[in-house]
Amino acid sequence: MDTAILLCSCPDAKGVVARVTGFLHTYGANLVHADHHADLQSRTSFLRLEWEVEGFGLDAASFHAAFAPIASAMGMEWTLRFSSQPSKVGILVSRQDHCLVDLLHRFSIGELPATCAFVAGNHEEPGAIVRHWEIPWISLPARTGDEGSKAASEEMVLEAVRREGVELLVLARYMQVVTGRFLSQVGIPVVNIHHSFLPAFKGGKPYHQAWERGVKIVGATAHYVTEDLDEGPIVSQDVVRVSHRDTVDDLVRKGRDLEKMVLSRAVRAHLSHRVIRLRNRTVVFD
Amino acid sequence: MDTAILLCSCPDAKGVVARVTGFLHTYGANLVHADHHADLQSRTSFLRLEWEVEGFGLDAASFHAAFAPIASAMGMEWTLRFSSQPSKVGILVSRQDHCLVDLLHRFSIGELPATCAFVAGNHEEPGAIVRHWEIPWISLPARTGDEGSKAASEEMVLEAVRREGVELLVLARYMQVVTGRFLSQVGIPVVNIHHSFLPAFKGGKPYHQAWERGVKIVGATAHYVTEDLDEGPIVSQDVVRVSHRDTVDDLVRKGRDLEKMVLSRAVRAHLSHRVIRLRNRTVVFD
Amino acid sequence: MDTAILLCSCPDAKGVVARVTGFLHTYGANLVHADHHADLQSRTSFLRLEWEVEGFGLDAASFHAAFAPIASAMGMEWTLRFSSQPSKVGILVSRQDHCLVDLLHRFSIGELPATCAFVAGNHEEPGAIVRHWEIPWISLPARTGDEGSKAASEEMVLEAVRREGVELLVLARYMQVVTGRFLSQVGIPVVNIHHSFLPAFKGGKPYHQAWERGVKIVGATAHYVTEDLDEGPIVSQDVVRVSHRDTVDDLVRKGRDLEKMVLSRAVRAHLSHRVIRLRNRTVVFD
Amino acid sequence: MDTAILLCSCPDAKGVVARVTGFLHTYGANLVHADHHADLQSRTSFLRLEWEVEGFGLDAASFHAAFAPIASAMGMEWTLRFSSQPSKVGILVSRQDHCLVDLLHRFSIGELPATCAFVAGNHEEPGAIVRHWEIPWISLPARTGDEGSKAASEEMVLEAVRREGVELLVLARYMQVVTGRFLSQVGIPVVNIHHSFLPAFKGGKPYHQAWERGVKIVGATAHYVTEDLDEGPIVSQDVVRVSHRDTVDDLVRKGRDLEKMVLSRAVRAHLSHRVIRLRNRTVVFD
């Protein structure tokens, strides 16, 4: 079933749902999903509406013309997407390929509503499996401690993002810190997987930190990347039990499964147009 | 904040959300929550709308007069509730009191949007804690295998339900099977906790069955009671890990925590007007 | 079945398990459980052995005489406990009574291998339910910001611990920080429940902190109390999912269930002689 | 660290642990892990002992000679394995390749203590990814409803198992029922993943069954294959929450993640020599 998805947020006011659903009804929309959330603290309303394209009286251009005045009157930010036009995704990776292989397999069986436009990495090893699935591989020169190679890498990624029209960048265990300059230029959301239950164990070697502290549960966190490292809005988290029997290596192993699961859930939620950011928090309609 | 809650279901049709939210908007409703679900298989729409009473232009009686024609035109079943009018609940119990104590404590700290009108039990032991919380205790004569005592017990419960205007009956580990005659007469929903992950291990001694089968996880299930034992619509389920080290007694102990949690979640969802039944399934807006 | 439980730790060396189980076998022990853990980093061995008292050739005194030389030769720390001699526990509480009621109910149905010698609290409200279960209630004068009342309270608790021969003190949402002086004098383990997934959200108002950060999961942590607040060895942790729909009040409510579960698991593990501390970590044989 | 692993079970008797650990100590074993379980119902003892090879006085042959008489006296069944001699595994697959890709990636990063000797499948699609990882691919003629093609396929698998010296066969969503004749001839354990929380939803289309029943949680089960379909001893299970919003397709998608996780855990436990069968149950030392 082809659907259209409207994702919007606006200052809380009476009649937001009635007006937007009334507008859609005027043009014959058959709603499949309607999600609403009112954040009482910030007094903001969030809406996600999904309806069948068949029988709906507006295309993308005429929707814009007809809806923009209404949205504007409500101070609304909004995006309209069509399920028939899947997003394009770019992936960055370093040496460890478990999140990468997990994502590429999901693309290969059609589980994610998107196509993978390229994978770029600063280690050569993952290139082979990327080529197996016939996805373009970009070899990045980035080396830790070498600012020049890093700047060149970011330039290559920016160029690929623009060339391919990529709409989401996924850091699938990419171990280089992305710069503020890159983030301000790339202009699309960037999702990262951090291998701890944030805000616990920020920074490097979180599994070592977790082992030292003697926690009984470890976690993983997928979040949008902002200039503040490990402080971006959280999209998805999950945890797994550990015990005194688990060494740091066991934590790393158990963590890999978490990282795959949590990153893929966040990527899927974003690509299904289920996530709206509100400052440092997220609304995830799932 | 005082709110009104409209819970409704109707055959799928274009404009259901628009019409209902449009109606509410006409009378000045400020929506706090709007939930919608379209079941594609049965082609049924479900809605839960919650709005502030303050500033809304209709009271219960005038709402009924104004909304009934609209609802009727859409073939809609609906109920309207006010958060300021908490439901009344009756509880049935046998010897084991863990679910009972758990629920009564939740009532005592105001966690459940309801009051407990009575507790009725066919064992005397739980009476003392019920009286501690100053709730009426009804002593039931029901004894396993004695049909007369059972019929008399059901009559006593029916009488109490009617006298108190109870709207939900909770079987908190009540070990007597309720009769079809009772169910047809009581006229209010009855929620039961079954100590297994249904549909696995129906019937008696589910923890023994689980141990014999060697499962690695056990569960508990809260469901509405129907004439088919253990086959009613499921409201809530949860599970806990077990291992070869756990004896049947350990399963029983771990299960108690599950039973408390799962039953209280189901009771809370029902009392918050978040549950709609569709044949043998439930929509739970949470 | 009456059992004896030997809990011990010693520097790693060949033959630790063989020597200790060989010793027990010499006196006819029928092992029910044998747990062993070798911590490779600290090169320490941990053992928990449980055997039937019936048919075992040593009583507590003669065990000590016979085993002490062997233990000493291995540099071993050890404790011997009998299941027929349940521990005594003291509980401290403030206004919120959900962990208290949960623990007292578990005592009442014999789920915890111990008796509750007293409950002491700096708010009067929990006194009634404590008396319902016929447990001595001690009214503490501690008021936040009043050091004199706090010192007097700690003195009263110390006195009760000594008088009753209490072996474990449980802080069941006791909202006063216990002093280093108290900890050094009390001479028994103190278990606390912190309402966050430590080390995230240390200190006050953890659910508010969690809401602000926009996490998708919240947790609770039971730990031994040390002078470093919220830094003591962790015994048990658990988590629950939250979403953008949950307000701080919802987090508090969901957290209550976690706190009850996690604290009772930690208390049960400790009282079953399943926990050994190694610096800031714990070995929990479960 | 190279280790030896002794896995054994015998009728319960005094001194089992002491005798076996005493024997190992005699030859200088440095124990890394010692696990023990006494099943009270069947009066059986289970032991898993792991020690460093370095400094141990017996090789495989001399261990057998020295230990056999002791084991025999205790009526013990036992196996001795060395971590330096990884097992060989064969995998059967049909069209869906998510469990296969998951397992092969784990082999590729050294997460499983084994090598994959071959993958055999009755659909051609998975062949390409198998060849990518340079593992032999066997194309099976089995077609549903064609007994001849099925018998030929089983013959080919038997031949491959024998030729390669495979010690574990993994059914990674192999959709053909294996025959009793095959099971009796193959002579090695066979692990299957069933896409439900057994014993709920045995047989075909378990996700459809689960949706129809309206459960709030779905599961997956890894078990040893016996002649009774879906009745074999369970090694691992896990679950995931579902809601009224999930269609059967959503259950299938969520289930894939469960299946991968649960099957890989069971395979890892078996290959780490952590599983002992006792009739229709398993002891899993993890």
Q: What is the ipTM of this complex?
A: 0.95
Residues A217, C237: C-beta atoms closer than 8 Å: yes
Nearest to C176 by CA among C225, C103, C130: C225
Mutate to test the interface with A, among D129, D249, D271 (most CBs of A within 10 A): D129
Other Cβ atoms closer than 10 A to B224: 18
Distances (CA, A) of C117 to C90, C166, C184, D42: 6, 7, 21, 39
Examine the pLDDT at C286 and tell me if it is beyond 90: no
- C84 CA to centre of own chain: 19
pLDDT interval class at D33 (50, 70, 90) = very high
Examine the pLDDT at C203 and tell me if it is beyond 90: no
Nearest to B122 by CA among B154, B88, B89: B154
The reply to whether D69 and D95 lie within a common domain is no
Look over chain D and give the mean of its residue pLDDT values, rounded to a whole number.
96
What number is the average pLDDT over the span D160-166? 98
pLDDT at A142: 86
The boundaries of the domain holding residue C22 are: 3-82
Residue D212: CATH number of its domain: 3.40.50.170
Examine the pLDDT at C75 and tell me if it is beyond 90: yes
pLDDT at A264: 98
Nearest 5°: the CA angle D223, D228, D229 is 60
Quote the CA–CA distance of C150 and C49 in Å, as a whole number: 41
What number is the average pLDDT over the span B224-245? 95
> How many CA within 13 A on the CB side of residue D209?
17
Q: Which of B31, B66, B82 represents a domain boundary (last residue)?
A: B82
Annotate B28-57 with b (16+ C-beta within 10 A) or e (fewer): ebbbbbbbbbbbeeeebbbbbbbbbbeebe
pLDDT tens, position by position, B4-56: 999 999 999 999 999 999 999 999 999 999 999 999 889 999 999 999 999 99
The reply to whether A187 and A116 lie within a common domain is yes
The reply to whether C204 and C117 lie within a common domain is no
pLDDT interval class at D177 (50, 70, 90) = confident
pLDDT at C4: 98
pLDDT at B70: 95
The reply to whether C286 and C195 lie within a common domain is yes
pLDDT at B48: 98
Please list every residue in chain B whose beta carbon sits closer than 8 Å to the beta carbon of residue C105. Answer: 97-98, 101-102
Examine the pLDDT at C144 and tell me if it is beyond 90: no
Beta bridge partners of C5: C50, C81
Residue B33: CATH number of its domain: 3.30.70.260
Instruction: Identify the chains in contact with C, defined as 3+ C-beta pairs within 8 A.
Output: A, B, D
Quote the CA–CA distance of B171 and B176 in Å, as a whole number: 10
Q: Which of D47, D82, D117 represents a domain boundary (last residue)?
A: D82
**pLDDT tens, residue order, chain A (286 aa):** 899 999 999 999 999 999 999 999 999 999 999 999 999 889 999 999 999 999 999 999 999 999 999 999 999 999 999 999 999 999 999 999 999 999 999 999 999 999 999 999 999 999 999 999 999 999 999 888 888 999 999 999 999 999 999 999 999 999 988 999 999 999 999 999 999 999 999 988 999 999 999 999 999 999 999 998 789 999 999 999 999 999 999 999 999 999 999 999 999 999 999 999 988 999 999 8
pLDDT interval class at B230 (50, 70, 90) = confident
Mutate to test the interface with A, among B36, B51, B245 (most CBs of A within 10 A): B36
Burial class (CB in 10 A: 0-12, 13-18, 19+), C180: exposed
Q: Which of A60, A82, A104 represents a domain boundary (last residue)?
A: A82
Q: Which helix (H) or strand (E) holds C150?
A: helix C147-164
Which D residues, 102 through 141, put their C-beta within 8 Å of a C-beta on chain C? none
Quote the CA–CA distance of B36 and B8 in Å, as a whole number: 10
What is the percentage of chain C residues whose pLDDT exceeds 70?
Answer: 100
pLDDT at B262: 98
The reply to whether B225 and B126 lie within a common domain is yes
Partner A contacted by C233 (CB < 8 A)? yes
pLDDT at A177: 86
Annotate A146-182 with b (16+ C-beta within 10 A) or e (fewer): eeebbeebbebbbebbeebebbbbbbbbbebebeeeb
**Is residue C230 flagged as an active site residue?**
yes
pLDDT at D201: 93
Please list every residue in chain A whose beta carbon sits closer than 8 Å to the beta carbon of residue C219. Answer: 217
The reply to whether D234 and D199 lie within a common domain is yes
Quote the CA–CA distance of C140 and D187 in Å, as a whole number: 70
Please list every residue in chain B whose beta carbon sits closer than 8 Å to the beta carbon of residue A14. Answer: 25, 28-31
CB nearest A21 (choices: B18, B28, B33)? B18
Residues C105, B111: C-beta atoms closer than 8 Å: no
Q: How close, in Å, is residue B66 to chain A by CA atoms?
A: 17
Of residues C39, C102, C230, C250, which has the active-site annotation?
C230
Q: Looking at chain C, which residue has its C-alpha nearest residue A239? A: C239
Examine the pLDDT at B247 and tell me if it is beyond 90: yes
pLDDT tens, position by position, D229-279: 789 999 999 999 999 999 999 999 999 999 999 999 999 999 999 999 988
The reply to whether C218 and C282 lie within a common domain is yes
pLDDT at C238: 97
Sequence-distant (≥ 6) Cβ neighbours of residue D59 within 8 angstroms? none
CB nearest B98 (choices: C105, C132, C253)? C105
pLDDT interval class at B74 (50, 70, 90) = very high
pLDDT tens, position by position, D115-131: 999 999 999 999 999 99
CB nearest B101 (choices: C97, C105, C261)? C105
Partner B contacted by C177 (CB < 8 A)? no
The reply to whether B183 and B205 lie within a common domain is yes
The reply to whether A278 and A155 lie within a common domain is yes
Tokens of A176: 């280089």
pLDDT at D145: 84
pLDDT interval class at B203 (50, 70, 90) = confident
The reply to whether C127 and C72 lie within a common domain is no
Partner B contacted by C98 (CB < 8 A)? yes
Tokens of D223: 């078990």
pLDDT interval class at D41 (50, 70, 90) = confident
C-beta pairs of C110-114 under 8 Å, 24+ apart in sequence? C111/B253, C111/B256, C111/C268, C112/C264, C112/C267, C112/C268, C112/C271, C113/C83, C113/C86, C113/C87, C113/C268, C113/C271, C113/C272, C114/C86, C114/C87, C114/C88, C114/C89, C114/C168, C114/C271
**Cβ distance C52 to C30 under 8 Å?**
yes
For chain A, the straight-line distance linking the first and the last C-alpha, in angstroms and rounded, comes to 19
**Cβ distance B216 to B189 under 8 Å?**
no
Number of H helices, E strands in chain D: 8, 13
Secondary structure of chain B in HEC code, one letter for each residue: CCEEEEEEEEECCCCHHHHHHHHHHHCCCCEEEEEEEEECCCCEEEEEEEEECCCCCCCHHHHHHHHHHHHHHCCCEEEEEECCCCEEEEEEECCCCHHHHHHHHHHHCCCCCEEEEEEEECCCCCHHHHHHCCCCEEECCCECCEHHHHHHHHHHHHHHHHHHCCCEEEECCCCCCCCHHHHHHHCCCEEEEECCCCCCCCCCCHHHHHHHHCCCEEEEEEEECCCCCCCCCEEEEEEEECCCCCCHHHHHHHHHHHHHHHHHHHHHHHHCCCEEEECCEEEECC
pLDDT at A286: 87
The reply to whether D213 and D257 lie within a common domain is yes
DSSP A112-172: SSEEEEEEEESSSTTHHHHHHTT--EEE---BTTBHHHHHHHHHHHHHHHHHHT--EEEES
Compute φ and ψ for C2, nearest 5 degrees.
-75, 130
**Cβ distance B186 to B121 under 8 Å?**
no
Please list every residue in chain C whose beta carbon sits closer than 8 Å to the beta carbon of residue D40. Answer: 32
The reply to whether A113 and A78 lie within a common domain is no
- B161 CA to centre of own chain: 15
What number is the average pLDDT over the span C212-230? 94
Tokens of D44: 């059986």
Give chain A's domain count: 2
